[in-house]
Structure 1
């Protein structure tokens, strides 16, 4: 009778995933955010992996963690492996669920830029089922199960990126408020509306357009840019407008830009798709449709 000896067990996949994410992103907190777990869970997974191999992968310091020589040597192989696994999962899912498109977008972009454009996309591709997830941070399209992402962020030059518009900011407000603003210096006496995602907008704009002048910082703050935009429409104060998000309101006259003083933020409205292979036909059509609607 043959006897099968016990086979050595490898480390858990979750531990390897935690190591790769923490090593690639430079810390446990960043890895936890990407993997939707707690930093404590990441730490526990990595401790278990270190116990399994019998060596440290990170140096723990009071100001954070740093890869050991062993961890740095191991990272490229694991990054390549997880990218390959992500590509395989994308391919399998795409083949099994052809006709479905999943888009990840910044909430403000989803509400103010993407949503008005989706009817035209659906009219052009009536058999395509489109889902939209509003999330705060851009997904890793090599790993996450999205077909497209749409965010205001710094462009990276990645192969799957398309820059739709430079991110330009400028003050916007209701027409009745604009009527009382003779120059940009008058903003010192106005209620300024602030968005939680872009808390430095007013300071960045003021450095470029009002050097040496301190603008008030005690105005209302909003966790959703779309709410801040509605407040500005109803006369609550002056909002720092991201031009691609406020252009439709400027076009219909519910908001006005009292000063022609736009400032580039160094970011852009970026449309991205996974850069594994040429996009499938329906995805390529959506890219063309959205890429052709860059005004505003």
Structure 2
């Protein structure tokens, strides 16, 4: 018998991570979306773990997946361990990351709100190295290596602070080309342009403005707000603009808003700061700079 026998090896982390995501979502496809891999890759990693354990972790059937009793009992502790590991890595990054920050942002906010402010931000913080990624939903800071996030976020997200940067409002906008023949034409006669995610924006504005004469859901839909905005700039119709996102085009005279007053949005533009990052000097400097660049008085 060996005096110092080798310690039993743990299963591969990738296999554990794939199983935890698949078990939490009850789906290989949704786990693959979270992990940015293919469903086949998730299934292969789960198979690796099952072979290592010598048991099945999922019952596979025509309706999808269900956890075995053993897997159900193990999942809470495994999920907590992965969260703790993610938080430890975030703390390590925050203490050793230097002047680099990784920011996740909603695509429309990244392109139309943050990017125009980057030159002024770089001038205010010349040593800052900013990495920007477009995401459709706020990241899980316990699992994903982002330092900050920029989203329309009416609620406080778990594990982070919420800092309101700007209020926003809805108002119909169009190209000046639609007005060349005289005063603003009847809104009910125009082609309405819609963003497919913010698909209630027209209904919100019309209800608040007491405009029952305009069909709220008529008109083409676009999967990206930037595409709907470009259609409006090209004179293809009237977009229900979010004031913060169309501000630059209006200031340049490429869009006008001749149909009524803005209607405030309940959702604010928020900076989400993970708890591990909140006290860091660089984070605080970036928050102050963004608050300054968001000041309506400064915008003129």
Tell whether the structures are fold-level matches, with TM greater than 0.5.
Answer: yes
Aligned partners of 1:188 and 1:216 also within 8 Å = no
Tell whether the 8 Å contact from 1:170 to 1:263 is kept in structure 2 after alignment: no
Residue aligning to 1:132: 132
Post-superposition Cα deviations, 1:261-289, rounded to whole Å, max 9, x if no partner, equal 5264x644221122225331011110122
Aligned partner of 1:271 in structure 2 is 271
Q: RMSD in angstroms over aligned alpha carbons?
A: 3.3
- List gaps (5 residues or longer) in structure 1: none
- 2:104 equivalent to 1:120: no
Aligned twin of 1:174? 175
Q: Distance between the aligned counterparts of 1:161 and 1:152, measured in 2?
A: 11
SS in 2 for 1:150: strand
Q: What is the CA distance between 1:97 and its match in structure 2?
A: 3.4
Counterpart-to-counterpart distance in 2, 1:151 and 1:169: 17
CA distance in 2, matches of 1:214, 1:61: 45
- Contact kept? 1:188, 1:215, Cα under 8 Å: no
Confirm or deny: 8 A CA contact 2:161 2:278 kept in the other structure.
no
CA contact (8 A) 2:170 2:242 kept: yes
Matched residues, number: 291
Q: CA deviation at 1:146?
A: 1.9
User: Could you say what secondary structure the match of 2:256 adopts?
Assistant: coil
Query: What is the distance in 2 between the residues matched to 1:267 and 1:38?
Result: 33
Instruction: Decide which moves more: 192-201 or 138-147.
Output: 192-201
CA distance in 2, matches of 1:68, 1:242: 47
TM-score (normalizing by structure 1)? 0.80
How far apart in 1 are the matches of 2:83 and 2:161? 15
Deviation track 1:158-197 (CA, whole Å, cap 9, x = no partner) reads 3322233455433211245366546xxx444312223354
Cα distance in 2, alignment partners of residues 72 and 273 from structure 1: 32
Matches of 2:60 and 2:215, distance apart in 1: 41
Once the two structures are superposed, residues 245-266 of structure 1 have per-residue CA deviations (whole angstroms, 9 ceiling, x without a partner) of: 12333445432332225264x6
Q: Name the TM-score, length of structure 2 as normaliser.
A: 0.79
Q: Which moved more, 1:150-159 or 1:105-114?
A: 150-159
Q: For the residues of structure 2 that align with 1:62 and 1:170, how far apart are their CA atoms?
A: 47
The one-character-per-residue Cα deviations of 1:34-54 (angstroms, maximum 9, x if unpaired) are 210112222332243344435
CA distance in structure 2 between the partners assigned to 1:47 and 1:227 by the alignment: 41
Using the TM superposition, give the Cα deviation of residue 109 of structure 1 relative to its aligned residue in structure 2, in angstroms.
0.9
Tell me the secondary structure at the aligned position of residue 241 of structure 2: strand
SS in 1 for 2:274: coil
Q: Does the 8 Å contact 1:206/1:213 carry over to 2? A: yes
Structure 2: state its 5+ residue gaps: none
User: Contact conserved, 2:277 with 2:283, CA < 8 A, in 1?
Assistant: no
Instruction: Give a deviation string over 1:200-223, Cα, whole Å, max 9, x none.
Output: 54456556655586346443x545
Contact 2:188 2:213 in 1 (8 A): no
Q: In the TM superposition, what are the counterparts of 1:146-295 in structure 2 within 5 Å?
A: 146-158=146-158, 159-166=160-167, 168-177=169-178, 181=184, 186-202=186-202, 205=205, 210=211, 214-215=215-216, 217-219=218-220, 221-257=221-257, 258-260=259-261, 262=263, 264=265, 267-276=267-276, 278-292=278-292, 293=294, 295=296
* Partner Cα separation in structure 2 for residue 197 and residue 148 of structure 1: 23
**Residue range with higher mean Cα deviation, 225-234 or 37-46:** 225-234
